[in-house]
Amino acid sequence: MPGRVEGADEPRELPDWFVPVAEDVEEYCRPRPGVWVDLGSGSGGLGLALARRSTSTVLLVDPNARALGSGLEAAKTPGLAGRVMVIAGVAESITLPDDSVDLAVSRGSIFFWQDPPQGLREVYRILRPGARAMIGGGFGTRYPEWAYTEFFRRRYEALEAEGEEAKRRWDEPRRMEWLVGHARVAGLGDLLLSPTPPTRWLLFEKETT
Ligand SMILES: C[S@@+](CC[C@H](N)C(=O)[O-])C[C@H]1O[C@@H](n2cnc3c(N)ncnc32)[C@H](O)[C@@H]1O
């Protein structure tokens, strides 16, 4: 059966996806070192992966203070301490100045924002001119095909158990048209760049004037 991992008695552990996503961020955003933001970071999987691969200061932003605490704990390693900071807050109202960050990323979070266009406007506001944002969800171009397939098999199995409405609620925001629609409402439609990494990402760059 597709997606089944043959020979495994126990469900096989899926490999970490943050490094492949970080590789895509580097490739598609080409950020300059400086201040980088992971919005809706949770415990900072993507932000920490980016911090480990750079010399930048990484700000984790999330309304969940407990998740941010876990991110700070995980950042207590040589090379990261002092370069990872947290801000408790939401994408729709980011407590950072205009034109202040060299990269903004957000993985798996916009689907939960109360007001996605307002969050996207905020991302645009805090970007420095010429800096890029990659906002959406996915596993990274180099994530193994078997693991991607297996993730979705498990997810849909769980959603099937929850019912049609749960499946629809999960699927709907994860369509590219949903993301692009919100970008248009935010006034960013003409600034969207392509290609983006496969799966569901908005890529845009702050205009230089
Ligand atoms: C599915 S988790 C993704 C976490 C992490 N980015 C990852 O890739 O594993 C969604 C995260 O979005 C956060 N979130 C929910 N509403 C938000 C908002 N309005 N602004 C920013 N983050 C939000 C949640 O607290 C949660 O940590």
- Would you give per-residue pLDDT tens digits along the chain (209 residues)? 334 444 455 678 999 999 999 999 999 999 999 999 999 999 999 999 999 999 999 999 999 999 999 999 999 998 898 999 999 999 999 999 999 999 999 999 999 999 999 999 999 999 999 999 999 999 999 999 999 999 999 999 999 999 999 999 998 988 999 999 999 999 999 999 999 998 899 999 999 98
By DSSP bridging, strand 57-62 and strand 200-205 are: unpaired
What CATH number should be reported for the domain whose range is 17-140+173-205? 3.40.50.150
Q: Which helix (H) or strand (E) holds 165?
A: helix 164-171
Indicate if ligand 1 lies below 6 Å from the C-beta of 40. yes
Indicate if ligand 1 lies below 6 Å from the C-beta of 44. no
Please, what's the b/e burial string for 75-98 (b: 16 or more CB within 10 A of its CB; e: otherwise)?
Answer: beeeeeeeebbbeeebbeebebee
pTM of the model: 0.93
Indicate if ligand 1 lies below 6 Å from the C-beta of 101. no
Indicate if ligand 1 lies below 6 Å from the C-beta of 70. no
CA of 46, closest atom in ligand 1: 8
pLDDT the model gives residue 199: 83
Dihedral sign computed on CA atoms, order 87, 93, 94, 96: negative
- 3-class secondary-structure state, position 132: strand
Give residue 115 CA to ligand 1 midpoint distance, Å.
13
Nearest alpha carbon to residue 43 among 20, 82, 72: 72
Q: At what angle do helices 176-185 and 116-126 cross, to 10 degrees?
A: 70
Indicate if ligand 1 lies below 6 Å from the C-beta of 39. yes
Q: Which residue type is seen at 41?
A: S
pLDDT the model gives residue 2: 39
Contacts of 153 (CB under 8 A, 6+ apart): 2, 3, 4
User: Residue ranges of the domains in the chain?
Assistant: 17-140+173-205
Backbone angles phi, psi at 201, to 5 degrees: -140, 145
Residue identified by tokens 């970007």 is 127
Dihedral sign computed on CA atoms, order 58, 61, 62, 68: positive
CA of 21, closest atom in ligand 1: 8
Which residue from 14, 58, 62, 120 has its CB within 8 A of the most atoms of ligand 1, so it is best to mutate? Answer: 62
pLDDT the model gives residue 91: 98
Q: How many CB atoms lie within 10 A of CB 113?
A: 21
